[in-house]
Amino acid sequence: MKILAENSVLIIGILGALAFAVSLITELLKDLPGIKKVPTKAFVILVSLIVTVVALLIYVAYAGIPLLWYYVVLAVFAAFVVAYISMYGWDTFKELKDRFIK
């Protein structure tokens, strides 16, 4: 529990950076001819899965630690959190801002 408390800011920052990357990639690619037919939320989930697993692979290579199977499983679970933040984060933030700042 102490490790989670010490690294909570880091975890939130990483989730935010990944969500920003997914949002940016989605905005840049969603109007391409082949991707236009795919529902945006499904595309966000796909991009989130790719970005999160690639980020894990980059971190493992950088840190020089062995890649364990459950790291990939946890990255897939984290990808759904990142996708949720990417899809609904801005709307929720805007709703809260409008609610409290008049």
Q: pLDDT at position 46, please? A: 96
Q: What is the pLDDT of residues 15-67, one digit of tens each?
A: 999 999 999 999 899 888 988 899 989 999 999 999 999 999 999 999 999 99
The parent domain of residue 73 ranges over: 2-100
Q: What is the pLDDT of residues 63-81, one digit of tens each?
A: 999 999 999 999 999 999 9
Q: pLDDT at position 100, please? A: 82
Q: How many helices (H) and strands (E) does the chain have?
A: 3, 0
User: Is-above-0.85 flag for pTM?
Assistant: no
C-alpha distances out from residue 69 to 24, 56, 75, 77, Å:
29, 12, 10, 13
Q: pLDDT at position 56, please? A: 96
CA pair distance 21, 27, nearest whole angstrom = 10
**How many structural domains comprise the chain?**
1
C-alpha distances out from residue 33 to 30, 37, 55, 62, Å:
8, 8, 27, 36
